[in-house]
Every structure is written in structure tokens, then in C-alpha cells.
Amino acid sequence: MKKILITGSNGLLGQKLVTLLLKEGNTELIATARGENRLPIIEGYTFDSMDITDPENVNEVIDRHKPDVLIHTAAMTNVDQCEIEKELCWAQNVTAVEYLVKACERNQTFLLHLSTDFIFDGSAGPYDENAEANPVSFYGWSKLASEHLVKGAKTKWAIARTVLVYGIAHDMSRSNIILWVKKSLEESKKINVVSDQWRSPTLAEDLAKGCTLIAEQEAEGIFNISGKDLLNPYQMAHLTADYFGLNKSLVNEATSATFSQPAKRPPKTGFIIDKAVNVLGYKPLSFEEGIAILAKQIQ
């Protein structure tokens, strides 16, 4: 039985991973997060409070559990906040990874690190695993720096890159494009949605499945784990309106220039996922299928 430790277990991906691994039932699971356990499931795993920015705390927890695999999902992911609070971003996204790498090396733990499409400038998407990185935001730079640390680790490692993750988690106020569009249109609000940014939106359950496949196989290297559709937010809004039978005329097409945000966004990312499909057996859902899953969860 494989022992798997997850960082960021209170987050969206963390929650989905705990749920999935408990359902599959062939792992000894250690969930960790900063502060207290906010998971709705209370049995079948061990919870430890762990602050990834505290090296002593990291060493104590990892040395005690000696996991076979560590899935590192915890990160500062608010792109604009990262641009404004650079030191905090670096501490959480880069320095913390240094601590985790060292602890994994000491225990010969397989390290699975989560990364992002924001390491690319968005001039040539969709991207495969060998594409050249060139971030346009501080968040992107922090995630690229953490990838370099993982690639230099003296233990087995994998990097799972993902794009625009959406889903519903327990006890989280954070919305996503589907919920935002649905709520706005139900309240007859007009919304401006950009059509000049392209992504391959990823259902949180799909990302959890992709990470689980990597962890179970201890598959080394870089894997693109995303949805299979390349869409812009304007198209995503239309598909959401169609699914729930809402008024599409309230959705106004806009460009990125109409929004002033501290961090620059890459215009066209999206991922080519052939490697994950062929090597891991990864099978993501379409965006419409993802909407249907969220619709069920809302009920």
C-alpha cells in the first residue's frame, strides 16, 4: 500500500484528491494544510497541520510520515495578488518548494509538483510539454522557478501542468466562470466576457485523476493535465448559458484591454495532452460534460 502525502488539502484540488484517493482505497493517505482541517470527510486518512513556508514544520511532518509520494498542490495562485505581494508569492511558491524538495530527497519520496500554463507567454498556444517557457507575470515566474527546483531534485519527480481549473469544493467561497455566468444571467445582469484569451479549462476532478495516475505509476517527467477543449471565456459563457437555458444576449463580448488588472495574462495558452493520454491513460471530460457535473453538484 502506497503512502501519499498531500499539501494544500483544504484547497479545491486537495479536496478532490482526498475524495478520489479514499474512494480508490488502496493508499495510506496523509492530508496536510496550513491551519485546521476543513475537509468534509473526517475518516479514512490522517490530517496534519503543515505550513510549507516553515522549514522545521515541513521537516518534522515529512520525516515522521516518510511518504512514498508527495503531491504538492499548495500555492499562492491569485495572479494579481502575486504581482502586488511579490515577497509573499516567492515565499509560498518558490522557497517552500526548496524545503519540500530537500525533505523529499532525504526520504527518497517521489515528488509530484503542480504547475501552470502561466509559465508561457501565450504567443504560440496550445503548448506541449517541450515548449519554451517565457512568463509574462510574477506568478508565472514564481511557478517556473519552482519547476527548476523540482527538476534539479535528487529524488524521483514529476510536474503536472494545468490550465484554468474549475470546480466546486466544500466550504469555499471561490467562484468559477460557470457559477459566475449562471448566477449573473439568472439575476438578469449583463456581463462582459473576454474573447481574446484562449485556455483549455480543466475540471478539478479531471486534474485530481491525472495527478492520481502519475502518483500511482510514479511516472517521471512533465505532464500536461488539462481539459481537451480550447475555448475563450466568451465561448465558455455561451456554453454555460446554453446548458442552463439562460439568456445569452446578456453576455457581451469584450477584449482584455477593457479590464485593468495588475498582472498581464498570456493571450493564448491551452495544452496538448497527448502525452498524458498515451502514457498515463488520462481521459478528461469535455467542457460541456464538466458543466453537467457542476450542475449535479450544485443540486
Q: Please name which of 97, 30, 34 lies closest in space to residue 62, comparing C-alpha atoms.
A: 30
Q: Given a cut of 80, is residue 153 above it in pLDDT?
A: yes
Confidence (pLDDT) at 58: 98
Interhelix angle 96-107/55-65, rounded to 10 degrees, is: 30
Q: Please, which residues have CB within 8 angstroms of residue 56's CB and are 6 or more apart in sequence?
A: none
Q: Please name which of 162, 128, 164 lies closest in space to residue 236, comparing C-alpha atoms.
A: 164
Helices (H), 45-129: 55-65, 79-84, 86-90, 96-107
Q: What is the mean pLDDT of residues 73-86?
A: 98
Percentage of the residues of the chain whose pLDDT score is greater than 90: 97
**Hey, what CATH topology would domain 2-167+201-226+270-286 get?**
Rossmann fold (3.40.50)
Dihedral sign of CA atoms 87, 259, 232, 292 in order:
positive
The structural domains of the chain, with segments of one domain joined by +, span: 2-167+201-226+270-286
Confidence (pLDDT) at 67: 98
pLDDT in tens, 136-149: 999 999 999 999 99
Enter the C-alpha cell of residue 229.
477543449
Q: Which residues in 120-273 belong to E strands, given as ranges?
A: 157-162, 165-166, 191-194, 202-203, 221-224, 251-254
H or E element that contains 244: helix 233-244
| Cα 234 to Cα 245: distance, rounded to the nearest angstrom | 16
pLDDT in tens, 21-44: 999 999 999 999 999 999 999 999
**Neighbour tally for 234: CB within 10 Å:** 18
| Cα 256 to Cα 41: distance, rounded to the nearest angstrom | 40
Confidence (pLDDT) at 120: 98
Q: Given a cut of 80, is residue 173 above it in pLDDT?
A: no
Q: Peptide bond preceding 126: is omega within 30 degrees of 0, i.e. cis?
A: yes
Q: Given a cut of 80, is residue 68 above it in pLDDT?
A: yes
Largest CA distance in the chain: 58
Q: What is the mean pLDDT of residues 53-80?
A: 98
| Cα 299 to Cα 142: distance, rounded to the nearest angstrom | 38
pLDDT in tens, 95-116: 999 999 999 999 999 999 999 9
| Phi, psi (rounded to 5 degrees) for 100 | -65, -40
Confidence (pLDDT) at 170: 86
pLDDT in tens, 193-232: 999 999 999 999 999 999 999 999 999 999 999 999 999 9
User: Is-above-0.95 flag for pTM?
Assistant: yes
